[in-house]
Amino acid sequence: MKAVMAALIISLAMTGGRAVAQKPTLTAGSFAGMYAAQVPAPGYNVDPSGAVGTKQFMEYVNTYYQAYSKTAPYTPVWSTPQSFTTPFASLPNCSVITGDSNVLFDHLASRWVLGAHTSIPNKYYYCIAVSNTDDLASPTLQWYAYEIELNAIMGKNSEGNYWFPDWPKLATWADAYYLAIDLNDLNNNYQEVGVVVCALDRANMLNGSAARTQQCFENPTTVTGSLYLSHSLIPADIEGVTAPPAGREEYFVSIENPPADGKTTTSKSFNLWAFHVDWNVPSNSTFTQKTISETPYTPGCYDVTQPAQTLCVPEPSSSSTGVYLDSVGDRFMPRFAYRNFGTYESFLVSHTVQINSSTHQTGIRWYEMRGSGTPTIYQDGNMSPDASTFRFVPSIAQDHNANAMVGYSASSATVHPGIRVSTWNLDPMTRPAETVILNGVADEESQGRWGSYTSMTVDPVNDCTFWYTNEYFPKNETGQLINWYTRIAHLTVSTCK
C-alpha cells in the first residue's frame, strides 16, 4: 500500500487555568511490514514490535525480524525475513526460540540489541545479541551473542519442573541491559507465580568481550506456586541520547492485579522497583519495591471468575463466532519509556483498563512519573474518546519536546480491528487527539489471541519522529487460515524541531 498522509489539529486545552494556544499538526505515513505468508510456519500470536535506529527500522513478529530503510520506498534490508535464531548460530543452546523476543536500539551506544528465551522444557536459556554497528545493511554486520542459563536462576515447581520463563522484557540503561521474566507454572496452565529480574553486562557485550555473571533477583523470594498479582515487570528503556545521571538506579513497573477473591474488580496501586547494580561488589546490588497509589482502576477485560483471562474485545463477527480478542489487560504494556530532559527526568507507561462497567469497554490509561529520586506520578489520564470503541494493547513514548504518543489497536461490534494513535503534549498538558493509521477491514475469527504487545519508539537522529508497528487482517482469518499483516507508521509533531 502507498504511504498514507494525515494531519490533525490538537485542540485548545486548559492547563492550570491557562489556555494552551498552540495548534501543532501531525504528519503521518505508513507502509507494509511483514505478513504471515512471508515467514515459514507462521503462528496465530504475532507480537508485532520493533525499534527505530539511526539508519533503519527493525520489525519483529513471532519469530522473525526484518529491517527497512527509513525513507521511501522503505526497502527491506534482507530479501526475506530473518529467523530470530540467526544471530545465535554459534550458540547451540539458543537454537530453539518460539516467541516473546525483544528488539531494541541502544541510543547511548548506537547499537542494536536482540533478546529471547529458549523453549526446550527444563533447559531454559536467555539469548542476547548486540550488533557491532548501527547499520544493519553493512557488509561487516556481526552479532556478539551470549547465552544465559536460566534454570538455576528460576527454580522448580513441586512436580520438579523448572518454572517456564514467559513474557521477557529487555531494556537499555547506562550501566546494564536489564531483563524481567515472568515465572509460569507449566503444570498449572502456565499461571504466573513470580518474576526474575537481571542486570546483564552491557559494557562487555558492546565490544564482544566475555560478559560478567549476570546479577539477578527473584520476587517473591520464595516462589510457592500461588497466583502472583504483580507479574509482568517492564524495565525503563532510554529514549534520546542524554544518559541518566551517573549512578541512577534502573526502575521497573507492573500493575497490581485485584486480589483473586472472586469479588474484587479494582486495583488502586501499581508497583515500582529500583534495581541498583554494583558490578565491582555484587553483594552491594539491591532490588527494592515501592507501592504507588493511584485512582482505582479495573484491568481491561477483568473477570473475577477467571482473573488470568482477559478476552472481551468485540469484533463485528463476535456475535456469530463467539470469539473475542485479548486485551492483555492484566499488565502494563511496553514500553516504560525514560527520557532525561536535563531539568527533569520523565517515565511514561500505559495499559488497558475498563472504561465502562456495563459494556466492559476498554480504553488506554497512561502515567507520567517524574523525580530525581524515586519517581512519583506527575500526571495521568484515560484515552477513550467515544462510548463504543475498545482500545487495547498500547505502547507509549515521547519526543524531546515532550510530545507524547500512544499507539494501540481499536475494535468494536461495528469496527473491524484497526490501528490508531493519540498525541498530546505533556509540558504543558494538552488534550489528546486521535489519528487513524489503518481502518480495519476484517476480523480474526479463529481465535482470540491478539498480539501480546506493540511498540512505539522515537528516531534517535532527529529525536522527533515516532515509529510504531501493529497488526491487522486484510480478510477474515478463519479455521486454519493464518493471514495477519503488519503496518509500520512514522509520525512527527510539527512543534518538534
CATH of the domain at 374: 2.130.10
Task: Give the residue ranges of the chain where pLDDT is below 50.
Answer: 1-21
Entry pTM:
0.95
Residue 20 lies in a domain: yes
Confidence at residue 7, expressed as pLDDT on a 0 to 100 scale: 32
Residue 5 lies in a domain: no
Confidence at residue 24, expressed as pLDDT on a 0 to 100 scale: 83
Residue 6 lies in a domain: no
Confidence at residue 95, expressed as pLDDT on a 0 to 100 scale: 95
d(CA 197, CA 11): 42
Confidence at residue 8, expressed as pLDDT on a 0 to 100 scale: 32
Q: Which residues partner with 365 through β-bridges?
A: 351, 382
Label residue 337 exposed, middle or buried (CB < 10 Å: 0-12, 13-18, 19+).
buried
Residue 232 lies in a domain: yes
Residue 4 lies in a domain: no
**Quick one: how far is CA 76 from the chain centroid?**
23
Confidence at residue 414, expressed as pLDDT on a 0 to 100 scale: 98
Residue 489 lies in a domain: yes
Q: What is the pLDDT of residues 262-302, one digit of tens each?
A: 999 999 999 999 999 999 999 999 999 999 999 999 999 99
Confidence at residue 452, expressed as pLDDT on a 0 to 100 scale: 95
Confidence at residue 349, expressed as pLDDT on a 0 to 100 scale: 98
Contact yes or no for 416/316 (Cβ under 8 A): yes
> CB neighbours of 241 closer than 8 A, spacing ≥ 6?
107, 108, 460, 463
Nearest to 367 by CA among 358, 375, 377: 377
How many residues comprise the chain? 497
Whole domain around residue 427: which residue ranges? 13-493
Residue 326 lies in a domain: yes
d(CA 457, CA 461): 12
Count of structural domains, the chain: 1
Confidence at residue 400, expressed as pLDDT on a 0 to 100 scale: 98
Residue 454 lies in a domain: yes
